Structure 1
């Protein structure tokens, strides 16, 4: 009697492990034929066939229509239903809240942005983030209930539990429990510069270097590190955070740009106007850009001297001014560093933090889906994580 119960439990456990093995194989490849799933999962063909039939029935996988080539039965292939759920990545800053909505494979389907100010109260800033999620879902044509996970990037230091420990740019932001606010089944949060670097590592090119310093330049400035192909957060999530060092005059550097445009221009637009003037050959604006580049280079050179990376990436909103900013930045680095890595601009622009937050949330979803301890995969619904 006891033996049969134990045997039943062992069989159920084995089936769960097989499901996760098959799902992991298809998830990592995008689409696989049965023979490839057998090879990658290490399971027998009969076990694979049984699991595939079950996962298709429960709508985790889709059997693709095979291409017919020559004689014989065409090989069947399967793909993961990336459209079954969605992920939102947020960039919650002092001057705006941005969001992107992706499918479970990371394909961006919509994005939205709402302005705020550093003085916007915490409750309203969070409500703006909720509205950005709703706008992204609406524009993508999916219900908010199908947002399985939210990733949030924000200025300041964020602990492992998703609480903002310190945020100099937003007066009442310290202590905000980001992980506890959003209603998605999974919520993860991290520092904005860290997540911008994660987005660059994942989306910045076909063959990203193992070691990279990411200079996050915009209305807020930061640094982040990718070492040995992985984002390096540090013991407390503050790796490469130089904001408190007196020799790093990032905030004052923005005033160089602001001083060369009319005072009535809104703060959020002043740097863009200064870059545009420098692009047009305006001498005071070009001098302001050089001063700004010098301030950026001081902190970046410190990280370069420690890490000795192959690449420095200029990212964030100001990367869109690379045509006037990259040359003086490289010149300053050449003066400060014994060896200057390749310097290039990110193509992700102002969406870099939101895209990195979506990548962080995607990792959390994958961990949840592929963990054998989670039990059997259920019938897929809008709340299936």
Structure 2
């Protein structure tokens, strides 16, 4: 078989690489003079001058004062213009969509929430309509944000692959091309991410998983999911389905049935906690609120709830055994509905893992709480937007 001819870099490719080098060094070490940039990147002075001038015209780089480095005229300092552009981040849950405008430095500029109008409506379609309405409002001048929005990031509770929500039971979405739908409405690049992945990235970027080389965010919401950081990168797996630990099997009896909308672990957890939700007047099959109802009864001394709690954490621990043995994470952070009872949950799970697996990861409490997913998708979208800026 004839091998394909090797590809060679064009002038455009070289320019893109050089732009990236300049913007990266300014973002990480700026403000810097042109001479400093030359020393750190190894690029020629003419290239530095040409590309810095172009980046300033585009608004990607801005002046940041002057410094005298030697005899002669003072040098202008340059910095990455993080406030010159913004991204939009939206966290979609069963009942609400929460939107945030963030500059490229990660500072929040504006935030707004929308409650879906579901009564008497096709719930899946109503959520899409509500999401699009929120996107419209966030993109409007009414927010007071003048920086142009360059990308949109959306996090959802479901399996997402290449912008398509392949399955989100809580949202009544299946094979929904969400990125295409929102892009058609906004005209912007769209990043769609699973909420557990976004939570893991948020905690890794600026929370309890910071500096961890290998970590897991265990998210208890309507179902149980996990976001995975492996080798300091977000791990999505084949068809972006990594971390769906609610579909782990609990015993050989699991082979006598099939699991479609809800996995075996999720079904087991739901059966253990939903009776306590019903007693509090909570309806539906959401595990997170039912877990909180059960734990509240435990604190009140309800012995039946205490037995259910023990069975519940047994089931969670079995899922963590599989996760820990396969991935060997340094740390597991508890997120979502665990938040209110995170210290107790960490103690319950650690006690069950010790002596049962070769290496017990540290089980930590979330630093970001319910901000984790939107923080994570913001950071991911900023990276996406920076790439677009670098390669313009």
Query: After TM superposition, is the score higher than 0.5?
Result: yes
Change (3 A) 1:221 1:112: farther
Count of paired positions: 360
Give matches, 1:212-227, under 5 Å. 212-227=215-230
Q: Structure 1: state its 5+ residue gaps.
A: 1-9, 375-385
Q: Structure 2: state its 5+ residue gaps.
A: 1-9, 251-263
Which residue does the alignment assign to 2:332? Answer: 312
Q: 1:105 & 1:120 partners in 2: Cα distance?
A: 39
Contact 2:224–2:244 (CA under 8 A) maintained in structure 1: no
Once the two structures are superposed, residues 266-317 of structure 1 have per-residue CA deviations (whole angstroms, 9 ceiling, x without a partner) of 6675544444454565555444443332222221211101112211111224
Farther-moved stretch of structure 1 (173-182 vs 15-24): 15-24
TM-score by length of 2: 0.79
Which residue does the alignment assign to 1:148? Answer: 150
Q: 2:174 & 2:248 partners in 1: Cα distance?
A: 20
Q: 1:274 & 1:113 partners in 2: Cα distance?
A: 28
Which residue does the alignment assign to 2:169? Answer: 168
Change (3 A) 1:65 1:219: same
SS class of match (1:169): helix
Q: Does 1:43 align with 2:43?
A: yes
Which residue does the alignment assign to 1:347? Answer: 367
Once the two structures are superposed, residues 74-123 of structure 1 have per-residue CA deviations (whole angstroms, 9 ceiling, x without a partner) of 55322222122211222223343233321112223333333446985332
Contact 1:150–1:361 (CA under 8 A) maintained in structure 2: yes
Cα deviation for residue 334 of structure 1 reads 2.7
Contact 1:222–1:243 (CA under 8 A) maintained in structure 2: yes
SS class of match (2:360): coil
Q: 2:228 & 2:78 partners in 1: Cα distance?
A: 37
SS class of match (1:243): helix
Give matches, 1:210-359, under 5 Å. 210-247=213-250, 248-260=264-276, 262-265=279-282, 269-279=289-299, 283-334=303-354, 336-359=356-379
SS class of match (2:345): helix
Cα deviation for residue 211 of structure 1 reads 0.9
RMSD of aligned residue pairs (Cα, Å): 3.3
Q: 1:212 & 1:243 partners in 2: Cα distance?
A: 18
SS class of match (2:323): helix
Q: 1:194 & 1:327 partners in 2: Cα distance?
A: 24
Once the two structures are superposed, residues 241-263 of structure 1 have per-residue CA deviations (whole angstroms, 9 ceiling, x without a partner) of 23334424224424544433533
Once the two structures are superposed, residues 13-60 of structure 1 have per-residue CA deviations (whole angstroms, 9 ceiling, x without a partner) of 876665444233323435333332112222233442343344334422
Q: 1:238 & 1:215 partners in 2: Cα distance?
A: 15
Contact 2:69–2:75 (CA under 8 A) maintained in structure 1: no
